[in-house]
């Protein structure tokens, strides 16, 4: 599987969807072996053991390597004594940094942050808050405790274990669900969740939210279970409630619209709630900064 993924990485010469390609490997593979709960656990532990190496190889994780270098270089600096969550902020001109800064300045805007990522977002929130008001300010801890809680849906590397893999039934390119061969049952996310109630809570938070801001997410097949109930209800004949959705993405990406239509199971253009979805494109940097400020300021005012 690693060789297969490495070939994909070399082919695309850029970021690719790791879980999608794991699914493609399972769909194409003729590999068979006896499966048991014991084997599943052993294989899953091996997967987790190598995962950091994998994700570093494929360019998904750089933060931890950079942080080690940073700590070695700055061991006697002011940063290491003042900031207990040392982290290198790679690009202060990025939209991601702007979003985090808006969150720490307007801590009451979000009730909940759901992270699909594997790095600890609260470290970044801590760091940006410290840069904004000063780590040694008396109100720092109060402000930090007022920030919205972060739910790490797939755990994070700080916890020593992450959840990565495929669905219980995988979808082929014809959008038909097929059973996962027993040889690959250890890859199924449903067997890896430390708490299925945590997953269910995330789905409920997404589906019942009055307003959602989705950043850096392709709405891909791997996370269909979280988004399908949302869009299916949103474009139903009698939706449970109206909600606003802002999707922050790189450019005018037709794939995201196709995913929404697939989850809604209907043509969404003619539906009234289509106007409740707006897009913020990060390739238009100046426009996105203005739109991002308006997104936060509009509610606060």
The pLDDT value recorded for residue 54 is 78
The pLDDT value recorded for residue 88 is 61
Element (H, E) at 102: helix 95-105
Helix axes 285-300, 95-105, angle to 10 degrees: 20
The pLDDT value recorded for residue 62 is 61
The pLDDT value recorded for residue 70 is 45
The pLDDT value recorded for residue 219 is 86
R_g over Cα of the chain: 21
The pLDDT value recorded for residue 80 is 42
The pLDDT value recorded for residue 136 is 82
Judged by DSSP in three states, 188 sits in: strand
Cβ-contact 221, 171 below 8 angstroms: yes
Q: d(Cα 258, Cα 224) in Å, to the nearest integer?
A: 13
- Point out the residues of the chain with pLDDT beneath 70: 14, 34, 61-90, 191-196, 298-301
The pLDDT value recorded for residue 27 is 87
For residue 186, which of 28, 48, 52, 17 has the smallest C-alpha distance? 48
């Amino acid at each position: 599987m690693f060789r297969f993924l490495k070939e994909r990485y070399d082919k695309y010469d850029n970021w690719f969807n790791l879980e999608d390609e794991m699914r493609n490997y399972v769909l194409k593979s003729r590999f068979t072996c006896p499966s048991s709960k014991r084997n599943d656990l052993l294989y899953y532990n091996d997967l987790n053991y190598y995962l950091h190496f994998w994700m570093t190889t494929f360019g998904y994780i750089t933060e931890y390597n950079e942080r080690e270098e940073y700590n070695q270089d700055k061991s006697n600096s002011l940063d290491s004594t003042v900031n207990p969550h040392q982290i290198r902020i790679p690009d202060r001109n990025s939209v991601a940094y702007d979003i985090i800064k808006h969150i720490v300045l307007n801590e009451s805007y979000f009730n909940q942050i759901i992270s699909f990522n594997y790095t600890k977002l609260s470290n970044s929130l801590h760091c940006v808050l410290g840069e904004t008001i000063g780590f040694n300010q008396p109100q720092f801890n109060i402000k930090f405790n007022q920030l919205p809680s972060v739910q790490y849906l797939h755990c994070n590397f700080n916890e020593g274990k992450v959840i990565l893999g495929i669905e219980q039934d995988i979808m082929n390119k014809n959008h038909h669900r097929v059973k996962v061969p027993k040889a690959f049952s250890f890859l199924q996310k449903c067997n890896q969740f430390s708490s299925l109630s945590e997953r269910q809570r995330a789905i409920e938070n997404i589906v019942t939210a009055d307003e959602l801001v989705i950043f850096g997410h392709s709405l891909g097949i791997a996370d269909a279970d979280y988004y399908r109930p949302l869009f299916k209800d949103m474009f139903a004949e009698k939706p449970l409630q109206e909600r606003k959705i802002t999707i922050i993405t790189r450019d005018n990406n037709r794939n995201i619209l196709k995913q929404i239509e697939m989850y809604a199971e209907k043509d969404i253009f003619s539906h009234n709630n289509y106007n409740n979805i707006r897009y913020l494109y990060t390739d238009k940097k100046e426009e996105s900064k203005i739109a991002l400020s308006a997104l936060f300021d509009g509610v606060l005012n």
